[in-house]
Amino acid sequence: MTVAGAGPGNPKYLTVEVLDRIKNAKSVLVFGRIGNSISSLRKDCIIVNKVDEIIEYTKENEDVLLLASGDPNFYGIVDYLKRNGVYIEEVLPGLSSFQYLMAKLKKPWQDAGFLSLHGRGGNLNEIKDNKLTIMLIDKEKNASYISRELFGIGIRGYMYIGYNLSYEDEKIVKIKIGEVPEDYSSLGVVVIENEMD
């Protein structure tokens, strides 16, 4: 199996190599959102809803390309598949949603800390040690939740929230930590600028 990064969502951010593999693979597995995005490139993609479906499919099929959102090695699916005994022949990188957002904000990110709350636990106290933290969010641990929690543990500064990045309904907002933003979408990235003493 080959696992390829599909970028932040819009097909124009696919790498040339991943685009070529989508067109030439025997079968392409995708989750719903990515499947909808690349439907103009290939009509016979197999939509999966659970990771277990991928594991079952790869037991009986060869030359499988799995498209994962963002970069599959950044809080992605590669680690999970390996832990569950799936042999991965190759990983093709993709543009992560956080890279896309940092480019939109025109901000360097080489000194940032990273945290994912997307389907994971996470300790927001880690943010105290970083001037800049980039995190992936989900439906429950959304921007409103993060803003309130950070304010509650004494962190001050700003949050940049990127929703539906690269899609037509993309929205990027800036708030002060403690303010409650509209949770426009569960698909998002938050950048925290911590006003450290």
Give the SS3 label for residue 157.
strand
CATH superfamily placement of domain 98-194: Tetrapyrrole methylase, C-terminal domain (3.30.950.10)
Using 50, 70 and 90 to split pLDDT, how confident is the model at 138? confident
Question: How many other CB atoms are there within 10 angstroms of residue 161's CB atom?
Answer: 26
The model's pTM: 0.88
Pick the CATH number of 2-95 from 3.40.1010.10, 3.30.70.100, 1.20.120.1760, 1.20.810.10: 3.40.1010.10
pLDDT tens string 14-29:
999 999 999 999 999 9
120 has pLDDT over 70 = no
Instruction: Please provide residue 128's backbone torsions phi and psi, each rounded to the nearest 5 degrees.
Output: -60, -30
Q: Given this model, what pLDDT does residue 99 score?
A: 95
Q: Given this model, what pLDDT does residue 151 score?
A: 95
> Cα–Cα distance between 96 and 8 in angstroms, integer?
6
To which H or E segment does residue 115 belong? strand 113-116
User: Which residues lie closer than 8 Å to 175 by C-beta, 6 or more apart?
Assistant: 143, 147, 158, 159, 161, 181
User: Which residues lie closer than 8 Å to 8 by C-beta, 6 or more apart?
Assistant: 69, 70, 95, 96, 97, 100, 165, 166
Domain boundaries, the chain: 2-95, 98-194
109 has pLDDT over 80 = yes
Instruction: Please give the average per-residue pLDDT across 139-143, as a whole number.
Output: 86
